[in-house]
Structure 1
Amino acid sequence: MKKILGYFVGIGLSMATGYVTGLLLTPASGDDLQTQVRNRVTQALAEGKQAASAREQELLAQFNAAKHTPLA
């Protein structure tokens, strides 16, 4: 019984320590952090779509060039 009690006390202390550490080390409030993460994800997705579109155009140009090249 002492081992189980000690286990749960350890879990509780660990959770409390993690919570306090998180509060002290977080650079921004929760809302600000969510906004920053959302903006970064949106920007990354936009850049990814732009890169995919550019690559698609490049591959289409290569395909059209290969389509008009006679076989050897």
Structure 2
Amino acid sequence: MPAPHGFAHERRADGTVTITHHGRAATTLRGPRAEKFLAEVAAGDPQLVMARWTGAYKFGNERRAGEHPRNRSRRD
């Protein structure tokens, strides 16, 4: 699975953190959640952390979805 890309975050003076994906706002974090997010970004891969916090990551079932009977006609 390719690593996510296109995420960025901005910390504002009031402590709010805004996460964007390809320039569009994906989520805004405030208070303790913002601090926890910033700690995770500092400790790990920022792109993976932001993808997880926004919910914009793959769950691993995309490859199997093409095998489902509902989707077979689309592949043929």
TM-score norm. by structure 1 comes to: 0.29
> Of the two structures, which has the highest relative contact order with CA contacts closer than 8 Å and spacing of 6 or more?
2
Q: In proportion to residue count, which structure has more strand?
A: 2
